[in-house]
């Protein structure tokens, strides 16, 4: 790809701005980061998915859930080595119960499943593989940019009508959080 940004100072400033814009879901872009190469696309999608702060209005699954997943993975490995020992997920001195960890695991599973299924549905609307994944992740995490024609140098105006409605639905699911939206479809919510 070569040096597409210019001087070291310009590179640091541009990359820092793009990262902050990505994880805070501001929707601004000062450069077309798609020119940086596929590794950076993946990095941006990963940041968009997990780098939002708990309690903030940023989208994605939030960094706290990622930390709980990583800590739980360590606990699982430790239990493999010492099955009789008692290990708990602990962050900053706070112990998280198994129920909380299970909810986080269920949330991440549902979030990724809905995003993946969303990408599959979008691929049937004429979007390329990259575009459908980028659009689904972008909508679920309230990021604003996708990949390909829907990247920083483009917009979603060329998407089909169905795709726009479906992306709007994914935005609502991502913004209101998965469990909130799925609870609307449970019969127990609507019984007196």
- pTM of structure: 0.82
State CA 26 to chain mean position distance. 14
Asked if 106 and 123 count as a contact pair (C-beta separation under 8 A), the reply is no
Residue 106 in any domain: the answer is yes
Q: Minimal CA–CA distance to 153: which of 161, 145, 163?
A: 145
Give the C-alpha distances (Å, rounded to integers) separating 54 from 28, 125, 167, 179.
22, 34, 24, 16
187 domain residue, yes or no: no
What residue numbers bound the domain in which 111 lies? 8-179
Residue 185 falls within a domain, yes or no? no
Question: Considering the domain boundaries, does residue 190 fall inside one?
Answer: no
- Count up the domains in the chain and report the number: 1
pLDDT in tens, 173-182: 988 888 888 8
Structure tokens at 79: 């239990």
Q: Is residue 140 part of a domain?
A: yes
> pLDDT, tens digit, for every residue of 26-68?
777 777 777 777 787 788 778 878 777 777 767 778 888 999 9
Q: Examine residue 154 and state whether it is found in any structural domain, yes or no.
A: yes
- Structure token pair of residue 126: 């004429």
Burial classification of residue 190, based on how many CB atoms lie within 10 Å of its CB (0-12 exposed, 13-18 middle, 19 or more buried): exposed
């Amino acid at each position: 790809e070569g040096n597409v940004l210019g001087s070291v100072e310009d590179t640091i400033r541009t990359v820092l701005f793009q990262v902050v814009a990505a994880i805070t879901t501001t929707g601004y872009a000062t450069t077309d980061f798609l020119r940086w190469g596929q590794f950076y696309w993946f990095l941006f999608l990963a940041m968009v998915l997990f780098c939002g702060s708990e309690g903030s209005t940023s989208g994605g699954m939030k960094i706290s859930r990622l930390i709980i997943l990583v800590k739980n993975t360590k606990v699982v490995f430790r239990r493999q080595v010492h099955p009789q020992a008692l290990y708990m997920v602990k962050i900053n001195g706070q112990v998280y119960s198994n129920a909380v960890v299970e909810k986080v695991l269920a949330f991440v599973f549902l979030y990724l499943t809905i995003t993946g299924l969303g990408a599959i549905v979008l691929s049937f609307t004429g979007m390329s593989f990259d575009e459908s994944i980028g659009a689904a992740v972008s909508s679920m995490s309230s990021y604003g940019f996708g990949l390909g024609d829907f990247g920083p140098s483009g917009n979603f105006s060329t998407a089909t009508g169905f795709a726009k409605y479906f992306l709007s639905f994914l935005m609502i699911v991502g913004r209101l959080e998965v469990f909130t939206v799925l609870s609307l479809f449970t019969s127990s919510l609507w019984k007196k």
